[in-house]
Structure 1
């Protein structure tokens, strides 16, 4: 449907064309791939408010030219120090709600982008932020899905979350698609941060550090602290609750930089964030699939779809049992990626679909997954059911039975110098938490992913990162940058990007063609989002999957559900060919929103 884009100067791919354009503008104004990614990331916070925001989080994978390593900048903020299981239970809460203020973590996205710029960028902060400020101040054309989301949530915004109403409703009514949408409060927040950064004096790095202080211990933190101390906000519990996050929690936090986790597959070195994300599940799937001749099965054949799906179930079951913040819990990652362990797990893949949730026992450890409730959403207006779901996606009532769900944003960039970056901005979306008065953005609700039960790697502990779904990918070949990619999709991210990656590596498709292959995923494993729905044996495929293939999968025991074509995921990718200096860009046509640019 689209061509693979080639250039020699730089390439950017993001889930909104305005972000991709901003990234390329940053490159053309003297920046590098890291400046481009940050510029695009800040624009995404403005033009995709239904999927991410300044109060959200982001993991960033970084490859710097001349290095043979990949670093991870962790923009996943921790839980507040007041967030204990006892604090939630005292409110009558046995699961952290997916909306409101209780699930707020320290907003890590701003700090992570700043650290990327400070350590790897070239441009002044003002130049990187100018595109986002422009769209927030002067307006951007409202995408239909955002307009639909605002229309669905309008009663909540009008009666319960008045600052969200002031931000997203126009004269008290939902704006129409195509409307030029502005967020002057957000623009002013960016401008004030810049003003305080400049007041620190000359010097790019000095100003970036001052911007961090303005956000995490200055006026932004003070506003958040004051609001959460006094506001009682309607959330998924059906009650009005105060938040637990404080300004002190924010002041104590700094984004970390750490080594990536990697594994070699078909001669390529694949890098992911650590087990505080779901990233290693991609590597576990590769470790299982390495023992199968996928090319002989045929792309998108019943054999291929069955094998990939069954391996995904096993890897994601391990995610549920073993992943968590490694600074607080023992995560046996080396054992999970061990060849011998993978061989034992591979033997579980049979001719029939398994209906069991089967985590493994790495090095003899006993797995445990807390019980998943099957509570029903509250009765009443449709927006209440949307509030009950922790996913950012807002689906109109008419389309609720057929629409595919997804979340998050992504951006990837590469430049002519050999720098490459991949990031997955998310959190702080308009549906799940009210806009903060005077700031123009919402807090994230990533805390919903932690368990209140004690003794699990992902159990709630104050100051601990909840295990997130965010999962960008980077690939090196012979120590040089080869490709970087990501997709929206929550739990499905590492299934949809896996299909893209296998189409390229095992079947030889170019990056753009690989984004356009059939999308499918398993819903077998419990969702990471409240209310943690799971559907054993359910496999979703786009409806262009041939009927004969679907029938074959059903005979194997899969409960096959079809969703509309071109509806699952928006894979964005960049690549590099160091031998001839060519850079490559691709973006999935799904949603008619993600675009790539190369020059």
Structure 2
């Protein structure tokens, strides 16, 4: 089939990411002798500069890796927890809010991205932190090329920055702000990283102890102290009111990125690895389990039957996410029951020829469904749509400008794999901390204000993130690392891509380039937590008869742009040792490189 680009082939190393600069940085590290972990960390820190509207130094970052030396796969959880002072009593009782805000200080968790990258580098990498950070520092000091979306994002919150978040204005409205195609620097962030290195590099320290000292300076030193001071002053958020944060230096000091085993599901001769139910990752495993009992190979991969089957399977998986997923350190999540053959068969039987308009969580192992108010979520979506339609300037007044995410996949010549999805801490999430040159994330907006629910707010609990890297094994050996930005769409576009590869034989680039789709049927993880029953968005390149058949089946079909669905990247290793990679052409940012 025609593709926009070839699937990159090599034997030395491949890198695929959502921005061409980060891909080139990752490849430069491999060429200089670094391994996949060194390269991924360098690319990850670079993404903070070239995609600042999609991630930041104080954001989150889950990572799935395969260590060739250890012969095992790990999840590094870079999703920080809620602060000790963030309680339902505080938010609901003292502040009088019925929902967590989507921006500002109140929804800030402990930032997790830096420690996740640092732990991976410390335990699996070979380079010093200075060598890894030099790329990001260079771009922060001298300027990084800005894509048009950075400028558009800054313009969407210009009024908020000028009137409320003046520390953000000082960084992002300086000299007119970022210009599409121009260079833009962040010298304050450059100084933050340079100070971090100065404090870490005491004489006589080894590579590993330097990284440990940097982790301490970040979570227990000047970075934590600056955050603690700054969030005490109230800031405007999406509630329409000003609220102070509750994140403290003590919250920062007592947390470090953890290591876990990935969850797995065997699909068409391959084992799919995802993060635990503190992420939405298991929805992909549930979707694949439902599709596993269908003859996908007999379906046209861009036909109505395929779109219908995948969409209806995802509706059931995401309904279970809302009813049962949460931080397993706080909630007893029935993952074994959710993926059991008996439960999967019961759920698969619910998929008929017609589109379901219902929200149907299941009862795995007899587990009751609690606290899912679908009607309220539908009403919130309608209220927001009506406000936007009447000219209500929600974005400029309250800063309700959603952020997105980045992704990077790397395989090196030694057989190490990395799949990482950094996000949050984007420039429009909360006021910039002036001493640091960056801002806090707002992942705690994903909590419900009912501590009895699986994803209900409790101090020290991880919010159920949408961030969801993936890895695939074949015959027990690492085969592919892949993922995408996209919030709720991450675990929609990923199973679509994998099903097309494994059931229809497409390569990475072909599967990425095929027209894709997404649903907005379930309850969103993002403020204001809306739902749009039956909504199905098809990329504009689908044939008109496909859309008509789906409408006839009851789907509320909307047509998007011709190249509007997905930001996938991926890298795989073939049995003969060849490395292959591909990246999304949409938006003209993502690139795969290698040799």
TM range (shorter): over 0.9
Q: How does 1:152-163 map to 2 (within 5 A)?
A: 152-163=156-167
Q: How does 1:179-578 map to 2 (within 5 A)?
A: 179-199=182-202, 201-229=204-232, 231-371=233-373, 372-373=376-377, 374-375=379-380, 376-377=383-384, 384-385=394-395, 392-393=402-403, 407-577=404-574
| Aligned 8 A contact 1:201 1:207 in 2 | no
Q: CA deviation at 1:158?
A: 1.3
Find the aligned partners of 1:446 and 1:83 in 2 and give their Cα distance: 13
Query: Does the 8 A contact of 1:391 with 1:530 survive in 2?
Result: no
- Secondary structure in 2 matching 1:543: coil
Following superposition, the deviation at residue 67 of structure 1 comes to 4.4
Shift of the 206–387 alpha-carbon distance from structure 1 to 2, 3 Å rule, reads farther
Q: Check the 8 A contact 2:304/2:546 in 1, yes or no.
A: yes
Moved beyond 6 Å, runs of 4+: 378-382
Q: What TM-score, normalized to structure 1? A: 0.95
- Measured after TM superposition, the shift of residue 142 of structure 1 is 1.2
Q: What's the TM-score once normalised by structure 2's chain length? A: 0.96
Length, aligned pairs only: 583
Matched residue, 1:112: 116
TM-aligned CA distance change 1:391 to 1:318, over 3 Å: farther
Structure 1 residue 28 corresponds to structure 2 residue 31: yes
Q: Does residue 72 of the first structure (1) align with residue 75 of the second (2)?
A: yes
- Give the equivalent residue in structure 2 for 1:583: 579
Partner of 1:397: none
Q: Which residue of 2 aligns with 1:98?
A: 102
Residue 387 (structure 1) shift: 6.6
* Correspondence for 1:140: 144
1:9-32 Cα deviation digits (max 9, x unpaired): 101111111100111111111110
Q: Quick one: structure 1 residues 386 and 565, their matched pair in 2 at CA, closer, same or farther if it must change by over 3 Å? A: farther
Residue by residue over 1:335-373, the C-alpha shift from the partner in whole angstroms, topping out at 9 and shown as x without a partner, is: 001111101100000010000000010011111243244
Q: 1:161 to 1:381 in 2, by over 3 A?
A: farther
| Residue in structure 2 matched with residue 402 of structure 1 by the alignment | none
Return closer, same or farther for 1:387/1:353 CA change in 2, 3 Å cut-off: farther
- How far off its partner does 1:421 sit? 0.7
Shift of 1:179: 2.0
Give 1:551 deviation, angstroms.
0.4
Moved more, 111-120 or 495-504: 495-504
1:391 deviates by 5.9
Given candidates 135, 151, 154, the residue that maps to 2:155 is: 151
CA distance in 2, matches of 1:97, 1:364: 34
- Aligned counterpart, 2:59: 56
1:39 to 31, 39, 42: 42
Q: How far off its partner does 1:243 sit?
A: 0.3
Offset of residue 517 of structure 1 = 1.0
Checking the alignment, whether the CA contact within 8 Å between 1:543 and 1:562 is kept in structure 2 is yes
1:60/1:75 contact within 8 Å kept: yes
User: Per-residue deviation at 1:597?
Assistant: 0.5
Structure 1 residues 156 and 381 mapped into 2: Cα distance closer, same or farther (>3 Å)?
A: farther
